[in-house]
Amino acid sequence: MLYNFLLPNEFVNSVFEITPEKLQANGIRGIITDLDNTLVEWDRVDATAEIATWMQELQAAGIRIIIASNNNEDRVKRFAEPLGIPYIHRAKKPLGAAYYAGLVQLRLKRNEVAMVGDQLLTDVLGAKRQKLYTFLVRPVAESDGFVTLFNRFVERRVFNDLKRKGIKTWEE
């Protein structure tokens, strides 16, 4: 199928649907997560209390976490450091280097790691090419940074095509 590299394993409305139990049931011991519009709005500087708690719950269950963002170091560091979460900035997703670096830092195998992100053309495409399990999260904000606007245009076309083919995405 044309969309093999764009179809996530799961569509979720928010990261909060991704529980330690769900991950462990799929053999997942670590996640590589996007930052902007996945964890928080692209223009929110710090983690919300809910995101911090979610990450703590994952870590308490033995789930390792790393943030991989295409954003600059100042942005990603300011978000990740207070949480004690390692990060990769300027990840150049969907290219494979950041995913490989994430696997190395997590010290896990591909079949033990999931990618959590909000974009088909960066997060899902790159992770699927690396044979990682993928969660596509509904974006947390209605607005996007300039670069992301083109990706959203393409995504809408893909989602419309999937709908015509009877493939379910998020439940409306």
Does residue 159 sit within a domain?
A: yes
Does residue 81 sit within a domain?
A: yes
The helix/strand/coil state of 34 is coil
**Range of 82's domain?**
14-61+73-131+143-164
How is residue 9 annotated by DSSP? S
Buried b (16+ CB within 10 A) or exposed e, 89-100: bebebbeeebbe
Q: What is the pLDDT along the chain (172 residues), one digit of tens a residue?
A: 556 778 899 999 999 999 999 999 999 999 999 999 999 998 898 999 999 999 999 999 999 999 999 999 999 999 999 999 999 999 999 999 999 999 999 999 999 999 999 998 899 999 999 999 999 999 887 766 666 666 777 777 777 777 777 777 765 4
Which has the closest alpha carbon to 4: 170, 162, 171? 162
> What is the Cα–Cα distance from 74 to 21, expressed in whole angstroms?
33
CATH number (domain holding residue 38):
3.40.50
Does residue 150 sit within a domain?
A: yes
The predicted model scores a pTM of 0.87
Does residue 157 sit within a domain?
A: yes
Encoded amino acid at 130, one letter:
Q
> What is the Cα–Cα distance from 4 to 159, expressed in whole angstroms?
13
Does residue 170 sit within a domain?
A: no
Number of domains the chain is built from:
1
> What is the Cα–Cα distance from 15 to 38, expressed in whole angstroms?
7
Does residue 153 sit within a domain?
A: yes
Does residue 9 sit within a domain?
A: no
Tokens of residue 117, six digits = 């992100």
Does residue 2 sit within a domain?
A: no
